[in-house]
Structures are given as structure tokens and as C-alpha cells.
Amino acid sequence: MTELTQLIYASRPFGFDEAMLNGILMEARRNNPRDSITGALICRADLYLQLLEGPPAAVEAAFDRIARDNRHLEVRRCFSTPVTERLFPDWAMRDDPARSWMWTPNEIDDGAIETATPADLLAVFARLAAEPG
């Protein structure tokens, strides 16, 4: 069985708009299949929350590129863990607006991401994965 890693990070968009988001998604959808990475990006004007999954070295390299990308501010690794199955096996990068059942902008400002447990964060992506794409 191939070793896989799931990594979730959060950041704050710099200059968020549709064109910037489309650029990020185009890059991810081009690069991720090459690197055997799948995942999902939840985005809105105040938050990027992304799950990357794939071979450990490839996931770390992708995270390092994101951390240096000037379209992201305050990039922080929430957690990473070895896994045996992918949550988004068919998605080079699924994108989704942050839903009303997620944290409000005020909750984000008050530290919701920093206090969320790995289980809380995974639950957000599990809920997204269960929705039709």
C-alpha cells in the first residue's frame, strides 16, 4: 500500500477575487495530478482552508510552495497525518465556497481555526467530500 499523508493548512487570502482564485485552481489542477496529489480548497474573502493528500514528499513540497506564495498571508499548518485512503480520490483540487455551516468571519477573527481540533477540521472536509461535486 502506498504511503499517503493528509495535510490541512489555513491562510488568509491577499487580494482575493475570482481571477486570483481561478489562477490558484488552474495551477493546482495542472500540478497536482503530476505529483499524485488530491484534495479540496475551501475559500472565501477571509479564509483559505485546504486539505492536500498524497505522497508525503509531494504534499510537503506543495505546502512549501503555498507557504511562499504571495497570494497567501499567515499560512499555518493545522496538522498533517499519515492515512491509508484519500478523502478526495477523484479531485485534483475540488473548490468550494465556505458554507454557512462553517465558521463566521467573526469566529475566524476570534481564533476558530487555531482552536479547532484535527477532528473538527477533518469533519469540515468529510462533509464536503460527502456532497455531490
Query: With helix as H, strand as E and coil as C, how does the chain read?
Result: CCCEEEEEEEEEECCCCHHHHHHHHHHHHHHHHHHCCEEEEEEECCEEEEEEEECHHHHHHHHHHHHHCCCEEEEEEEEEEEECCCCCCCCCCEEEECCCCCCCHHHHHCCHHHHCCHHHHHHHHHHHHHCCC
Average pLDDT (102-114) is 88
Please give the domain boundaries of the chain with CATH numbers for all domains.
4-130 (3.30.70.100)
Amino acid at the residue 126: A
**pLDDT, tens digit, 9 for 90 and up, residues 33-72:** 899 999 988 888 888 899 999 999 999 999 999 999 888 8
pLDDT at position 63, please? 94
Average pLDDT (22-35) is 85
